[in-house]
A and B are shown apart, each in its own frame.
Chain A
Amino acid sequence: MDIIAIILILFVAFLAGMEGILDQFQFHQPIVACTLIGLVTGNPTEGLMLGGTLQLIALGWMNIGAAVAPDAALASVASAILVTYHGAGVSEGITLAIPLAIAGQVLTIFVRTLTVGIAHGADRKAAEGSFRAVEFYHLGALVIQGLRIAIPAAIVLAVPPEVVTNSLNAIPGWLTGGLAVAGGMIVAVGYAMVINMMATAKLWLFFALGFALSAVGDLNLIAMGIIGVVLALLYLQFAPEFNQGGGGGGSSSSDPLDDILDDY
């Protein structure tokens, strides 16, 4: 593998590490990170498959408030290197992704604690009125977050391929089979996390309806999306809590969503 590919892999890893904290462009999401690593290592199809599978597992991994979720960045990058660069199987990559996500979580908690020191440094420079220094501290912390993934990625890259294959082959069959089975079930934890955040007693009705309709295979996700949007709009029109005549608050014309609803 030539040097350019290695540089590109480390660049993707660095991007994923930065996004792991920024959560904006989503370079840390498996479907993006694994696909990109697959592209630069020359095994795009494996990267795509791994990315799609891991994405389903990572659906519910989200940072809420100060709570830190399992880290999609390290899981995607390191397992994609193992699969597309070292030639491990996609199912082995998925198995390894979970411990990697937890290792990444520990690393980001470490960096987020380290950054408290950076915040105090920024305070001192702020007292001198230096915009430039505050910017420098801010972006410095971002570089550390990028290296949080790039350095482990370099380590995984440097491991000789025969060590990787030997250690993968050393895993007994019952374990790989079992882990593959478990991998299919883990998605449920992600769904449960999302449900836990949204569910109120009333909203379980819609969950039940979705579950019943899911058995109708002819309704694909786009059709389901349309049904869901219709349900949401109907709910907003008819739910009593939105129809008690907004007395003191604002008139309906100051409420953009009402205007949209009125147009229907």
Chain B
Amino acid sequence: MAEEKFKLTKKDRLHVFWRSQFLQASWNFERMQNIGWAYAMIPALKKMYSSKEERASALKRHLEFFNTHPYLAAPVFGVTLTLEEQRASGEEIDNAAIQGVKIGMMGPLAGVGDPIFWGTLRPVLGAFAASLALTGSWLGPLIFFFGWNIIRMAFLWYSQELGYVQGGNITQNLAGGLMQKLTQGASVLGMFVLGVLVPRWTNMHFPMVLSEVDVPSDEVINFGTIAEAANEGVLSGDMLRNVVGQIQSGMSIEPVEVTTLQNTLDELIPGIAPLLLTLACVWLLRKKVSPITLIFALFVLGTLGYVLGILG
């Protein structure tokens, strides 16, 4: 075995790719994705090592602690496959080197994957699909499911291949410009879209009445005469035209002008309340208040606001 050059086929690498989707199946609080990592490597290891001792030592070194973003593990798989391949071909690569590459890559990669996939792509795609679903369109779930999985699988396969072909070089590439740019670019897009979504997708309405002002009678459209005319059967086109003209010229329909808290807030800038609420949540999260506490606090706040008639 040590004499000849060992090479994984594309089929082997596809096998690893398929299994890498089950990386987190046995996620545990001690070594996290460790068994999942070994599980995905097994098709390759099986080809490389045949004796019981070799297999036991290969499994041992791949059952070490590992945890990263489940998709960004793909380039790490690629690099590790190259390293294992070289080792199986007789090169001097010790366990510490392989573990070093895994640990060295997983931290920065998780830092890239979390904001891109969980922070931007899924909320944006999810919000878009949900907006379609709420109009009763089946495209919502379909776009979400297929859009996500096509992007995800393409990413898993191509970044694994990139890691496999580039080997050790990829660490430098990823740690350097490329990943930083992707993260920054995705964050710019994400923050912008969030700015759009916060006022559009948070439902806060304040029906509380602030003031009721009687409108002077000459500024109120007199519907009484039209109703009378209609009852007596003498309603004419001119009368209707007159009313529409009055509406267009801005005369009031109601004899009493009601201003709610919502009207006042909208005059300031639409969406100010969701904005303030979101900023308050950001601030509280930074003060280490847990999201669940916040959710419960909002439940209490919403119920109180509803009972008091401020929110509706």
- A residues contacting B by CB (< 8 A) are 18, 21-26, 29, 31-32, 35, 45, 48-49, 51-53, 55-56, 58-60, 62-66, 69-70, 98, 102, 105, 112-113, 115-116, 118-119, 122-123, 126-131, 134-135, 137-142, 145, 174-175, 177-200, 203-204, 206-215, 221, 224-225, 227-229, 231-233, 235-236, 239, 242, 246, 249-250, 254-258
Cα–Cα, bound, A183→B312 (Å): 11
Contact A242 B192 (CB under 8 A): no
Q: Which residues of B contact A22 (CB under 8 A)?
A: 21-25, 70
Q: Mark B183-219, 1 if CB is under 8 A from A, else 0.
A: 0111111111111111111111100000000000000
Q: Which residues of B contact A250 (CB under 8 A)?
A: 172-173, 176-177
Q: Which residues of B contact A119 (CB under 8 A)?
A: 26, 28, 30-31, 34-35, 63
Report the minimum CB–CB distance from B79 to chain A (whole Å). Answer: 16
Which residues in window 270-290 of B have CB below 8 A to A?
Answer: 270-271, 274-275, 277-279, 281-282, 284-286
Which of A23, A113, A127, A177 lies at the interface centre, i.e. has the most chain B CB atoms within 10 A of its CB? A23
Interface range on chain B: under 10, 10 to 19, 20 to 34, or 35 or more? 35 or more
Q: Which residues of B contact A59 (CB under 8 A)?
A: 122-123, 126-127
Report the minimum CB–CB distance from A111 to chain B (whole Å). Answer: 9
Contact B53 A211 (CB under 8 A): no
Q: Which residues of B contact A225 (CB under 8 A)?
A: 124, 189, 193
Q: A56-B127, A138-B38, A210-B193 are in contact. List 9 more A-B contacts (CB 8 A).
A: A23-B70, A26-B148, A113-B28, A127-B60, A141-B26, A178-B306, A185-B298, A207-B194, A232-B189
Interface stretch of the complex, out of B135-143, B241-249, B250-258: B135-143
Cα–Cα, bound, A246→B301 (Å): 52
Contact A139 B25 (CB under 8 A): yes
Identify 23 residue pairs between A and B in the complex whose beta-carbon atoms are under 8 Å apart, listed by A's number.
A22-B23, A24-B152, A26-B148, A31-B141, A35-B133, A112-B27, A115-B28, A119-B31, A126-B60, A183-B302, A185-B277, A187-B201, A192-B282, A192-B294, A206-B192, A210-B195, A210-B197, A214-B197, A214-B200, A242-B184, A250-B172, A254-B173, A257-B182
Q: Which residues of B contact A139 (CB under 8 A)?
A: 22, 25
Q: Which residues of B contact A69 (CB under 8 A)?
A: 291
Which residues in window 2-48 of B have CB below 8 A to A?
Answer: 21-32, 34-36, 38-39, 42, 45-46
Report the minimum CB–CB distance from B13 to chain A (whole Å). Answer: 18
Report the minimum CB–CB distance from A73 to chain B (whole Å). Answer: 13
Report the minimum CB–CB distance from B141 to chain A (whole Å). Answer: 4
Q: B304 within 8 Å of A by Cβ? A: yes
Q: Which residues of B contact A98 (CB under 8 A)?
A: 295, 299
Cα–Cα, bound, A59→B122 (Å): 7
Please name the residue on chain B nearest to A55 by beta carbon: B130
Q: Contacts A116-B29, A178-B304, A194-B194: A221 and B177 contacting too (C-beta < 8 A)? A: no
Please name the residue on chain A nearest to B144 by beta carbon: A31
Contact B198 A221 (CB under 8 A): no
Contact A128 B27 (CB under 8 A): no
Cα–Cα, bound, A183→B124 (Å): 20
Please name the residue on chain A nearest to B137 by beta carbon: A48
Contact A62 B114 (CB under 8 A): yes
Report the minimum CB–CB distance from A117 to chain B (whole Å). Answer: 8
Q: Which residues of A contact B300 (CB under 8 A)?
A: 182
Q: Which residues of B contact A254 (CB under 8 A)?
A: 173
Contact A118 B35 (CB under 8 A): yes
Q: B101 within 8 Å of A by Cβ? A: no
Report the minimum CB–CB distance from B144 to chain A (whole Å). Answer: 5
Cα–Cα, bound, A21→B136 (Å): 29
From B187, B269, B305, give the contact of A215 (CB < 8 A). B269
Q: Which residues of A contact B278 (CB under 8 A)?
A: 188, 191-192, 195
Q: Which residues of B contact A235 (CB under 8 A)?
A: 184-185, 188
Q: Contacts A60-B123, A137-B26, A191-B197: A198 and B302 contacting too (C-beta < 8 A)? A: no
Q: B311 within 8 Å of A by Cβ? A: yes
Q: B134 within 8 Å of A by Cβ? A: yes
Contact B292 A211 (CB under 8 A): no
Report the minimum CB–CB distance from B264 to chain A (whole Å). Answer: 16
Which of A35, A62, A183, A210 lies at the interface centre, i.e. has the most chain B CB atoms within 10 A of its CB? A210
Cα–Cα, bound, A193→B285 (Å): 7
Contact A174 B195 (CB under 8 A): no
Contact B187 A203 (CB under 8 A): yes
Contact A138 B39 (CB under 8 A): yes
Cα–Cα, bound, A212→B119 (Å): 21
Q: Which residues of B contact A185 (CB under 8 A)?
A: 202-204, 274, 277, 298, 301-302
Contact A32 B141 (CB under 8 A): yes
Q: B109 within 8 Å of A by Cβ? A: no
Contact A179 B299 (CB under 8 A): yes
Contact B196 A224 (CB under 8 A): yes
Q: Which residues of B contact A31 (CB under 8 A)?
A: 126, 129-130, 133, 140-141, 144
Q: Which residues of B contact A195 (CB under 8 A)?
A: 191, 194, 278, 282
Report the minimum CB–CB distance from B26 to chain A (whole Å). Answer: 3
